[in-house]
């Protein structure tokens, strides 16, 4: 018998998450049935979407949601033999039982030298989010000037590098000087710390006096109001995330955007990467190739120890990570 | 020598336009040169866009902007012989001199029984706005449920009828019971008076419990915030106008929309009909055919007398018109 440690959502978050919203439990897992696999979580993903989605998909007492890279400990399913690795969406748990329907295999040609945690980052959901958001929603073209915020995060850092691969000028904003240095290292043409820059409007103007063709938005709220004012005519805005709004108890307000959208004929679209589930392999193959060639540099912010998962989650929401936040169990 | 009466923008509008913002003048027109045409305005168009565009395109002392149906009084240009009619963008003037480059001919197969003023409405710019906004921006499909506000206006009344022609369910909102009756008369499936309905959210839910695929927005602001909450997943929003915001002295604010746009994967796009200038003939031909067949019913709100142009403009901004507002000189 295997005992799994799990993090429960004890209380729905009100405002910024607190330690007391979580509870660590242990449960005994049943014996395997035919077609089932017992897995051990190796890496847990930490992503901003967990904050709004917990409210939508969980009730109090449920295991916190999330995905992981896991190793097969025991198998009654030929697709996932013992010792193989898989991707799962089993939530915050050290061990779990699954069927092949709920698991994704790792890409078959995964290079030895690449950490498997990248399957949660640049060569995983965040990478695909950047890929489809830029190519499909922004309809990125060579020569476009692209604005990306939360640019040093899991999605933003990949998005900026894809935009460079595609022949664009890329401007990024992040919340610390260390992150800004990282952005310049990975090829952003212009980058600045929005917390210390003074006027965001002036900084955006300075970074691209002609304005922006595309805006890959991970932040929303006030930042977006200012950014919209700097879009070129027919600008395209991919609304990927809204981390500035996730912890609101009362919805934040700002100027209505319709008039600017008409005058500049802007297109703004919200999206969830799941939309291109049928093109997952295309996206991952492209991302793996770019990472293997060194065209996409990956940085990870790794927290050790399952017991630190709530702290790592809160740290990620505060922007403590540069690059992809993961937890090594 | 011909003397033209013109309405001048004496002072840029601050908040809602006032009589004192306008000034009536008379100017003497020069003799015609080769290639020029002297025209007399027959119908002047009254459109909401004039309010925001006056700020952008005019300086104080300029002739107020707008378009007209005009009759050729004298011609040194073979394309526009004496007695023929043309469309122009000469602003609020009784007479003007123009060249063929600045004039559009009327559609050649214009039926005798149709008033020429419709070239400023259902078979003109507002009709084209409805046509391209629905077909190109909303990507209208048969079976879609479509929400339209300011639905009894020049654009909304045509948009609703096009959506019906295309096999959609159409829900319209307007600001008086008389307008609501008109909407039902022209084929709207559901219509209500947003001013007296109590909860807009409940009214939208009641009119379409499954939500809306498309939202053709002429109003913006608070209405749009509520409407977004009633969109279906992958809903498409054409931002055509924002009449609720045009007279702001301080920008109105409301809840940021990014989170809802992500969760529902909404697409919102602002547009100006000029984008499809190269498809003008296609659009006008379709509209003329539908009007001639009785599939699009046209209603006009006609004010008499050039001296009443400012009053007619302010009345249109207040929503006094059912159907297209025009002035007969």
SS (H, E, C) chain A: CEEEEEEEECCCCCCCCCHHHEEEEEEEECCCCCCEEEEEEEEEECCCCHHHHHHHHCCCCCECCCCEEEEEEEECCCCCCCCCEEEECCCCECEEEEEHHHEEECCCCCCCCCCHHHHHCCCCHHHHHHHHHHHHHCCCCCCCEEEECCCCCHHHHHHHHHHHHCCCEEEEEECCHHHHHHHHHCCCCEEEECCCCCCHHHHHHHHCCCCEEEEEECCCHHHHHHHHCCEEEEEEEEECCCCCCCCCCCCCEEECCHHHHHHCCCEEEECCHHHHHHHHHHHHHHHHHHHHCCCCCCCEEEEECHHHHHHHHHHHHCCCCCCEEEEEC
How do B85-88 and A2-9 pair as beta strands?
unpaired
> What pLDDT is attached to residue B109?
85
| Minimal-distance CA residue of chain A relative to B220 | A258
Q: Which residues of B touch A267 (CB under 8 A)?
A: 267-270
Q: Which residues of B touch A259 (CB under 8 A)?
A: 52, 220, 242, 245-246
User: Phi/psi zone of residue A91: left (φ > 0), alpha (ψ -120 to 50 degrees), beta?
Assistant: left
Check if A106 contacts B (Cβ < 8 Å): no
* Chain B interface disruption, residue of A52, A136, A270, A275, most B CBs within 10 A: A270
| Minimal-distance CA residue of chain A relative to B269 | A267
Whether A262 and B269 lie within 8 Å, measured CB to CB: no
Instruction: Chain A: give the shortest CA distance to residue B277, in Å.
Output: 15
Return the percent helix, strand and coil in chain B, to nearest 5.
Answer: 35, 30, 40
Check if A254 contacts B (Cβ < 8 Å): yes
Check if B220 contacts A (Cβ < 8 Å): yes
Check if A121 contacts B (Cβ < 8 Å): no
Sequence-distant (≥ 6) Cβ neighbours of residue B202 within 8 angstroms: none
Q: Give backbone dihedrals phi and psi of A77, rounded to 5 degrees, phi first.
A: -145, 115
Hey, how many other C-beta atoms are within 10 angstroms of the C-beta on B307? Answer: 12
Sequence-distant (≥ 6) Cβ neighbours of residue A27 within 8 angstroms: A3, A4, A6
**Which B residues 34-53 touch A at CB under 8 Å?**
52
> What pLDDT is attached to residue B294?
95
> What pLDDT is attached to residue A1?
81
Alpha carbon distance B279, B285 (integer Å): 10
Check if A109 contacts B (Cβ < 8 Å): no
| Minimal-distance CA residue of chain B relative to A220 | B258
Alpha carbon distance A69, A196 (integer Å): 37
Sequence-distant (≥ 6) Cβ neighbours of residue A279 within 8 angstroms: A132
| Minimal-distance CA residue of chain B relative to A250 | B255
| Minimal-distance CA residue of chain B relative to A269 | B267
The string of DSSP letters for B265-312 reads T-EEEE--GGGGGGGHHHHHHHHHHHHHTTSS---EEEEE-GGGHHHH
| Minimal-distance CA residue of chain B relative to A251 | B255
Q: Are B25 and B8 in contact (CB under 8 A)?
A: yes
Question: With a cut of 50, which residues of chain A have pLDDT below it?
Answer: none
Hey, how many other C-beta atoms are within 10 angstroms of the C-beta on A15? Answer: 9
Q: Say which of B253, B265, B275 has its CB closest to residue A270.
A: B265
Whether A258 and B220 lie within 8 Å, measured CB to CB: yes
Alpha carbon distance A98, A40 (integer Å): 11
Please report the ipTM that was assigned to this predicted complex: 0.95
Q: Which residues of A touch B267 (CB under 8 A)?
A: 267-270
> What pLDDT is attached to residue A108?
86
Check if A55 contacts B (Cβ < 8 Å): no
> What pLDDT is attached to residue B34?
96
Instruction: Chain B: give the shortest CA distance to residue A121, in Å.
Output: 20
Give 10-residue mean pLDDT values along chain B (329 residues).
95 96 97 96 97 95 98 96 96 97 91 94 98 98 98 97 98 97 97 96 98 98 97 98 94 96 97 97 96 96 97 96 96
Check if A229 contacts B (Cβ < 8 Å): no
Check if A232 contacts B (Cβ < 8 Å): no
A/B interface, count of CB pairs below 8 Å = 113
> What pLDDT is attached to residue B78?
94
Instruction: Chain B: give the shortest CA distance to residue A237, in Å.
Output: 10
Counting Cα atoms < 13 Å in the Cβ hemisphere of A209 gives 0
Whether B251 and A252 lie within 8 Å, measured CB to CB: no
User: Phi/psi zone of residue B186: left (φ > 0), alpha (ψ -120 to 50 degrees), beta?
Assistant: alpha
Alpha carbon distance A212, A214 (integer Å): 6
| Minimal-distance CA residue of chain B relative to A274 | B265
Instruction: Chain A: give the shortest CA distance to residue B247, in Å.
Output: 11
Instruction: Chain A: give the shortest CA distance to residue B157, in Å.
Output: 20
Q: Which residues of B touch A245 (CB under 8 A)?
A: 256, 258-259
H or E element in which residue B7 lies: strand B3-9
Check if A226 contacts B (Cβ < 8 Å): no
| Minimal-distance CA residue of chain B relative to A221 | B256
Alpha carbon distance A150, A158 (integer Å): 11
Whether B224 and A255 lie within 8 Å, measured CB to CB: no
Q: Say which of B52, B252, B262 has its CB closest to residue A256.
A: B252
Q: Are A291 and B284 in contact (CB under 8 A)?
A: no
Q: Nearest Cα to B228, choosing from A57, A258, A250, A216?
A: A258
pTM score: 0.95
Check if B258 contacts A (Cβ < 8 Å): yes
């Amino acid at each position: 018998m295997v005992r799994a440690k799990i993090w429960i959502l004890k209380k729905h978050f009100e405002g910024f998450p607190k330690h007391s919203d979580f509870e660590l439990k242990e449960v005994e897992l049943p014996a395997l049935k035919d077609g089932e696999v017992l897995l051990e979580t190796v890496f847990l993903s930490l992503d901003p979407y967990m904050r709004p989605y917990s409210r939508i998909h969980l009730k109090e007492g449920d295991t916190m949601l999330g995905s992981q890279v896991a190793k097969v400990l025991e198998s009654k399913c030929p697709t996932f033999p013992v010792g193989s690795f898989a991707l799962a969406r089993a939530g915050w748990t050290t061990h779990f039982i699954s069927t092949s329907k709920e698991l994704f295999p790792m890409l078959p040609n995964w290079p030895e030298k690449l950490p498997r945690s990248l399957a949660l980052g640049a060569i995983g959901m965040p990478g695909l989010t950047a890929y489809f958001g830029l190519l499909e929603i922004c309809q990125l073209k060579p020569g476009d000037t692209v604005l990306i915020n939360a640019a040093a995060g899991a999605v933003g850092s990949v998005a900026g590098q894809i935009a460079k691969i595609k022949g664009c000028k890329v401007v990024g904003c992040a919340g610390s000087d260390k992150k800004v240095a990282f952005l310049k290292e990975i090829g952003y043409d212009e980058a600045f710390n929005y917390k210390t820059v003074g006027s965001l409007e002036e900084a955006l103007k300075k970074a691209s006096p002609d304005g922006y063709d595309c805006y890959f938005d991970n932040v929303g709220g006030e930042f977006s109001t200012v950014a919209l004012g700097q879009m070129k005519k027919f600008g395209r805005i991919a609304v990927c995330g809204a981390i500035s709004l996730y912890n609101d108890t009362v919805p934040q307000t700002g100027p209505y955007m319709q008039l600017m959208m008409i005058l500049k004929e802007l297109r703004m679209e919200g999206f969830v990467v799941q939309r291109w589930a049928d093109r997952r392999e295309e996206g991952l193959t492209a991302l793996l190739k770019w990472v293997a060639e060194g065209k996409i540099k990956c940085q990870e912010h790794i927290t050790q120890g399952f017991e630190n998962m709530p702290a790592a989650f809160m740290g990620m929401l505060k922007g403590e990570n540069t690059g992809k936040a993961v937890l090594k169990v």
